Amino acid sequence: MIPENFIQSNLQGISFIGPELILTLAILLILLVGVLLPYWRHRILFTILAVAGLAGSVLPLWKLPQPAPDLTYLSNLFVWDWLTFLSKPFFAVVGVLTILLTQVTGEIDNSEYSECTILVLAVTMGMMLLVASTDLLMIYLAFETMGILSYLLVGIRARDERSGEAALKYVLYGAFTSGTMLFGFSLLFGLAGSTDLLAISQKVAFASQHPQDRLLLIVAILFFLAGLLFKTASFPFHFWCPDVYEGAPTPITAFLSVGPKAAGFVLFIRLFYPLFATGHDATIYEAVSGLDWPSILALVSAITMTLGNLAAIHQNNLKRLLAYSSIAHAGYLLMGIVSLSDLGLRSVVFYLVVYLFMNVGAFAVVAMVASAGGSEEIDSYRGLGARAPYVCVAMAIFLFSLIGLPPFAGFVGKVYLFAAVIYKKIYWLAVVAALNTVISLYYYLRIVKAMFLEKPTETIQIQVPLSSRVLLLALLVPTLGLGIYWQPLARVVSGMF
């Protein structure tokens, strides 16, 4: 016999997953259109449907009640807090940018285009579910929704060998690490007897007092890390990243480098902050006693950024270079997680937003140059500044922002991250990060140098269509704007924690 208020509350809870439902509707619609018009040659219809679906998905958010940390719904599967509230539009933006980038570049054939949009929408839905989940089972389901569909996305160009190889690597690597993570979940479930994060967190504090239980907890944490570090492309689970990023179609690479990565970081916050860290005053947390995960993550962070930056120095393929750069950025972002303070968590979210625009921007330029007749090798960027000044100036701005130079948004984001670790007095990490920024200068500026200072080796004419220019502008405005006037974003972010 199901109590009446149970049904009632679940019916109410459905309104909270409005975005996901709308996305599902949009997916079904595109599927239908794709079946009805199998020889449709124009992408624009699918693009409009997908963008409309993504835009529509965020509309219900403003109808919902004020987010609160303890507002859970659907039998405590999901939570409606500020992090959820802000993450959903973030992923919608990621989705929209990816769809538009696929639209303006020709990397994905018309025959695969409708599937591509469907998959992007579905991964976005997975990410939206993931950030709201507070139940291990739901987390895993959402994690795999996001994961498995993104494997498909990587392999969307069925006839391209590179794309297929990348997809296979991604699948195997992903299966391996998510299996490990699931094992960690099961350990935790065995220990706590519940899959609800809140319930587990109460048991964890208690269990960490006992040596055997503590051992179990440590193993569980390490197994979690396998899944989380895989998604965020951090050491030692980053090996898939350069190969997959290089093999995937560029718009999809851009998508992977910000979407699942951001979802991974949000999951980091979700898992570690109620479970293994306790807030002892309003702003500072402490790791659960006996579980010294912050120091191990600090080490991972330092190695990740150093490794990413050093390896990037050698790359001549821009997608590979940006893949290593994205590994390095995962290292920077981990600094915020390590710092165990609201300041750190805020800076992670702040940096993710900034990173979204500048990184998608850089990949967008790569995609545009490649589809306008160039290639992804640095050689085809030599002397490009004179032939395609607009695109190259945009690229330079994105790269400067990735380095973290003022007055671009990346600088502000880095300042917040650095401030977080310095505030926590982890000076060695700040020094490592600062040195890494200097190393990164070298390979980012290599591109700028090639574009503006070197003589062209080939004389292909680069024609960038108007739609691409508009998209670049849409990415430039926040990259520049948030570097000059970032208070609105900072205020929003500081309301979260």
Partner 1 sequence: MTNLIDPLHMKNMLWLIPCLPLAGAVINGLLGKRLPVRLVHFVGCASVFLAFLISVAGFFTLLGIEEPHQRFLIQPLYQWILTVWHQGSFSLQVAFRLDPLSITLCLVVTGVGFLIHLYSVGYMAGDESQARYFAYLNLFTFSMLLLVLADNLLLMFVGWEGVGLCSYLLIGFWFTDLEKAQAGMKAFIVNRVGDFGFFVGLMLLFWTLFEGSNGTITGLGFQQLRESIPLLNSASPILGVGLATWIGLLFFVGATGKSAQIPLYIWLPDAMAGPTPVSAFIHAATMVTAGVYMIVRLNFLYVIAPAAMAVVAVVGGVTAFYAATIALTQNDIKRVLAYSTISQLGYMFLAVGVAAFSTGIFHLVTHAFFKALLFLGAGSVIHAVHSNDMLEMGGLKKYMPHTYLTFMAAYLAISGIPPFSGFVSKDEILWATFNSHLPVAGLGKALWALGLLTAGLTAFYMTRLVALTFMGGFRGGLEKEKHLHESPSVMTFPLMALAVLSVVGGVIGLPAVTHLPNLLHDFLGPVLSSHGASGHQAHAYWLELLLMLISIGVATTGIYLGWLFYVKRPELPGKVAARFAKMYQVLEQKYYVDEIYQALFVRPLLKLVALSGRFDLNTIDGAVNLSSRVTAKFSFLIGWEDLKIVDGAVNGLAEIFKRWGAALRHLQTGKIQHYLYSVVLGIFGLCVFMFLF
For partner 1, the binding residues (CB under 8 A) are 168-169, 172-173, 176-177, 180, 218-219, 222-223, 225-226, 229, 235-237, 239-240, 242-243, 283, 292, 295-296, 299-300, 307, 310-311, 313-314, 316, 407, 419, 439, 485, 487, 490-491, 494
Residue 181 C-beta: closest distance to partner 1, Å: 11
Residue 416 C-beta: closest distance to partner 1, Å: 9
List Cβ neighbours of 218 (8 Å cut-off, separation of 6 or more). 291
Q: Which tokens go with 246? A: 């290089």
Residue labelled with tokens 């991972």? 300
Whole-angstrom distance, CA of residue 215 vs CA of residue 221: 10
Whole-angstrom distance, CA of residue 330 vs CA of residue 354: 13
Whole-angstrom distance, CA of residue 329 vs CA of residue 307: 11
In 185-217, which positions are buried (b, 16+ CB within 10 angstroms) versus exposed (e)? Answer: bebbeebbebbbbeebbebbeebbeeeebbebb
CB of 122 or CB of 318, closer to partner 1: 318
8 Å CB contact between 371 and 105: yes
Residue 220 C-beta: closest distance to partner 1, Å: 12
Residue 351 C-beta: closest distance to partner 1, Å: 16
CB of 113 or CB of 224, closer to partner 1: 224
Residue 176 C-beta: closest distance to partner 1, Å: 5
In 74-113, which positions are buried (b, 16+ CB within 10 angstroms) versus exposed (e)? Answer: bebbbbbbbbbbbbbbbbbbbbbbbbbbbbbbebbeeebb
Residue 441 C-beta: closest distance to partner 1, Å: 12
8 Å CB contact between 456 and 433: no
CB of 78 or CB of 235, closer to partner 1: 235
CB of 127 or CB of 298, closer to partner 1: 298
CB of 407 or CB of 465, closer to partner 1: 407
In 149-173, which positions are buried (b, 16+ CB within 10 angstroms) versus exposed (e)? Answer: bbbbbbbbbeebeebbbbbebbbeb
CB of 210 or CB of 314, closer to partner 1: 314
Residue 409 C-beta: closest distance to partner 1, Å: 14
8 Å CB contact between 359 and 322: yes
CB of 122 or CB of 475, closer to partner 1: 475
CB of 131 or CB of 288, closer to partner 1: 288
**What SS3 class is residue 236?**
coil
Residue 336 C-beta: closest distance to partner 1, Å: 15
